[in-house]
Structure 1
Amino acid sequence: MFDLSNFATPDALGSPETLILYCVAFAVLLLLFGVIGLWTMRDRTADRVRALAASMREATHEKAVPLTKGDEVAPSGWKKALIPEDPSERMQIRFQLGKLGFERPDIVEIFFLIRLFLALVTPVAVFGTVALARAGVLPESIVESLNATPPLRLLQIAAVGTAVGFYGPGYWLKSRIKARQAKIREAFPNALDLVQISVEAGLGFDAAINRVGHELTRVAPEVAYEFLLLQIEVQAGRDRETALFDMADRMGIDEAKSFALVIVQSLQFGTSLTSALKTYAAEMREMRELAAQEKANRLPVQMSGVMSMLMLPALFLITLTPIIIRYNAIY
């Protein structure tokens, strides 16, 4: 059906119109990659921490960070075909996005709109290019390239682009959440030690959380953001127990949940907060040491497979080479 002999002839590639079109397409591609790089490399956690710290210093209510969230609104109209109607599923997606600091009321709709847009970009581009080529708008070299491409290959490109655009945001969301949890898990023991030292120095729990949150702004912005948000919620009149467990859920690590449980139990039963933090800090140090030992004990097992793959061929060569030499010498 399609002639492969006419694919991108030298005369067509050397025409000024085609070269200008290729240069423009390459420039647009570089600009797109640059915008994506700036968006992904931007440290939004530090921006949120600075906004929270500034809001705590402001006395006016207009510049305060909103703590209340609007009621969950069910999708209506054409949005029903795009957004899940199950409230639990929408809340789960909102919760996952909230772990990254996206707290807008319409963040779920924006997330699914982005997924729809990315899923439609590739097929629209492919079929739009085919339609423009049939209309005679594109240069002759591109038309010949499209004619040389089988229709099945175009459908495959459109299908792969749709799958990547639809499932890509979900994969990106999970990878960002795992990266954020890893940073929090790494910095949380040191933050707990600072809270313990601040409490032992005479500060109250709220003042210690506030001080540690400001001190960790540059070193661990994720933990600082959660501590400052916890302090703002408590100052706004929210129950401390609920705020602590919400902070632990946002962090998504077991250490934060245990920390919240220790603080709540200490406040409920009237025990010494200093001794509770000291005991839990000692337990966290032991847990970190045990985790390091477990990781070190797994190394021999992990290295055995690599060593066997690298050593067995050499052992076979050393063992079988004399036998092969003798066999060739005899026969």
Structure 2
Amino acid sequence: MFDLSKIGTAQSLASTENLLFYCMTFAVILLLMGVVGLYLGRDRTAERIRSMSASMSRDNAAPRLSKTDATDPKGWKKGLIPEDPSERAQIRFQLGKLGFERPDVVEVFFMIRLFLAMITPFLVFASIALSRAGLLPEVLADTINGTGTLRMMQIAAVGTAIGFYGPGFWLYSKIKKRQSSIRAAFPNALDLVQISVEAGLGFDAAITRVGHEISRASPEIAYEFLLLQLEIQAGRDREAALFDMADRMGIDEAKSFALVIVQSMQFGTSLTLALKTYAAEMREMREMNAQEMANKLPVKMSGVMSMLMLPALFLITLTPIIIRYTAIY
């Protein structure tokens, strides 16, 4: 006769092992989510502003403004990182807009993208191998075996595509978000610069004052203004520093602002009048953009309404015909 007590003990041990495995998996997932949330939740712009302010207040210690040139990829990295220096410079410039200014930032970016692209196939093949070796819990092994090899390969392919193109999409979305926040707060920052200049401050002092005052409302603009002032104090040409700031911001308003300041300083015109005129033009531009967005709404609403109303109209129109046709035949 079978010993039912042993069978019950074995089943209880198996259930306990499965429960421990699920608890450990859940704990690891929570730990990873916590680490990722802690890293992504940091306000990198505010941290850079605090570091810059601390460096400016330490016994006249000059902050580090020099940047080390990135080296060309060597060895197996040539197949991973673009060899074209202009392409690497463009990627580094885009990453620099988000505050990632390490010399090897392009290499780190492509390494992370390679890791994310390979992690899903690795997990899929590892789970298949472990399930066939009998090292996984019974429920999880049955799920993997019931999924099918073709479906697992599809999951691996989709995970590879998401891991490979995901960082690029993330970088693009972060840059667009930063540009939107800069575009929304730039007119207010320009008004503060205009008021500071009218109050008697010079352009450099006005930029510094506005950069400190606007740090909470718009840390992105504050960082750019403070970095501009630090570059000018370090001996860089003001025109080049202004246009580089405009390129980092990535909006047309900043480029026009840099052009207005440069032309005013070159031709000796009144900086206050130039800022006042450009502020008025920017307000008109904002009003025109708002009107443009309002004029686009009827077109967008008509498309949505047609997609929602046409099926109902077809149903109302064709239902009597279908009922009569079915009743006759």
Alpha-carbon distance in structure 2 between the residues aligned to 1:146 and 1:41: 35
- Per-residue CA deviation, residues 282-308 of structure 1 (Å, 9 max, x unaligned), is 100000011111111111222222334
Moved more, 127-136 or 192-201: 127-136
Alpha-carbon distance in structure 2 between the residues aligned to 1:233 and 1:265: 20
Give SS of 1:15's match. Answer: helix
Kindly provide the amino acid, as one letter, of the partner of residue 288 in structure 2.
Answer: L
CA contact (8 A) 1:241 1:264 kept: yes
State, as a whole percentage, how many aligned pairs show the same letter.
74
* Residue matched to 1:248: 246
CA contact (8 A) 1:181 1:252 kept: yes
In structure 2, the CA distance between the partners of 1:263 and 1:121, relative to structure 1 (3 Å rule), is same
* Residue matched to 2:3: none
Give SS of 2:155's match. Answer: helix
Structure 1 position 259, deviation (Å):
0.3
Kindly provide the amino acid, as one letter, of the partner of residue 81 in structure 2.
Answer: I
Alpha-carbon distance in structure 1 between the residues aligned to 2:307 and 2:130: 54
Alpha-carbon distance in structure 1 between the residues aligned to 2:151 and 2:321: 53
Structure 1 position 147, deviation (Å):
2.6
Structure 1 position 116, deviation (Å):
1.2
Moved more, 15-24 or 28-37: 28-37
CA contact (8 A) 1:13 1:141 kept: no
Structure 1 position 13, deviation (Å):
11
Matches within 5 A, 1:289-304: 289-304=287-302
In structure 2, the CA distance between the partners of 1:286 and 1:121, relative to structure 1 (3 Å rule), is same
In structure 2, the CA distance between the partners of 1:91 and 1:13, relative to structure 1 (3 Å rule), is farther
* Residue matched to 1:81: 79
Give SS of 1:67's match. Answer: coil
* Residue matched to 1:169: 167
- Per-residue CA deviation, residues 93-137 of structure 1 (Å, 9 max, x unaligned), is 000000001111111111111111111111111112222333333
Matches within 5 A, 1:196-275: 196-275=194-273
Structure 1 position 60, deviation (Å):
4.5
Give the length in aligned residue pairs. 319
Given candidates 158, 164, 176, the residue that maps to 1:178 is: 176
Matches within 5 A, 1:277-288: 277-288=275-286
Structure 1 position 322, deviation (Å):
9.0
Alpha-carbon distance in structure 1 between the residues aligned to 2:77 and 2:307: 54
* Residue matched to 1:121: 119
CA contact (8 A) 1:52 1:65 kept: yes
* Residue matched to 1:40: 40
Unaligned runs of 5+ in 1: 1-10
Kindly provide the amino acid, as one letter, of the partner of residue 33 in structure 2.
Answer: F
* Residue matched to 1:71: 69
Kindly provide the amino acid, as one letter, of the partner of residue 72 in structure 2.
Answer: A
Alpha-carbon distance in structure 1 between the residues aligned to 2:318 and 2:83: 67
Structure 1 position 52, deviation (Å):
1.6
Alpha-carbon distance in structure 2 between the residues aligned to 1:86 and 1:326: 70
Matches within 5 A, 1:311-330: 311-312=309-310
In structure 2, the CA distance between the partners of 1:141 and 1:311, relative to structure 1 (3 Å rule), is closer
Alpha-carbon distance in structure 1 between the residues aligned to 2:94 and 2:230: 21
Give SS of 2:135's match. Answer: coil
* Residue matched to 2:5: none
Moved more, 274-283 or 23-32: 23-32
Is 1:99 aligned with 2:133? no
* Residue matched to 1:8: none
Q: TM-score, normalised by structure 2?
A: 0.89
In structure 2, the CA distance between the partners of 1:24 and 1:311, relative to structure 1 (3 Å rule), is same
CA contact (8 A) 2:131 2:145 kept: no
In structure 2, the CA distance between the partners of 1:59 and 1:149, relative to structure 1 (3 Å rule), is same
Alpha-carbon distance in structure 2 between the residues aligned to 1:49 and 1:169: 25
* Residue matched to 1:4: none
Kindly provide the amino acid, as one letter, of the partner of residue 197 in structure 1.
Answer: I
Alpha-carbon distance in structure 2 between the residues aligned to 1:160 and 1:200: 58
Give SS of 2:99's match. Answer: coil
Structure 1 position 313, deviation (Å):
5.8
Alpha-carbon distance in structure 1 between the residues aligned to 2:57 and 2:170: 34
Is 1:17 aligned with 2:21? no
In structure 2, the CA distance between the partners of 1:322 and 1:111, relative to structure 1 (3 Å rule), is closer
Kindly provide the amino acid, as one letter, of the partner of residue 291 in structure 1.
Answer: N
Moved more, 65-74 or 87-96: 65-74
* Residue matched to 1:28: 28
Structure 1 position 65, deviation (Å):
2.9
* Residue matched to 2:4: none
Q: TM-score, normalised by structure 1?
A: 0.88
Moved more, 172-181 or 300-309: 300-309
CA contact (8 A) 1:123 1:162 kept: yes
Moved more, 140-149 or 167-176: 140-149
Kindly provide the amino acid, as one letter, of the partner of residue 265 in structure 1.
Answer: Q
After superposition, the CA RMSD in angstroms is 2.6
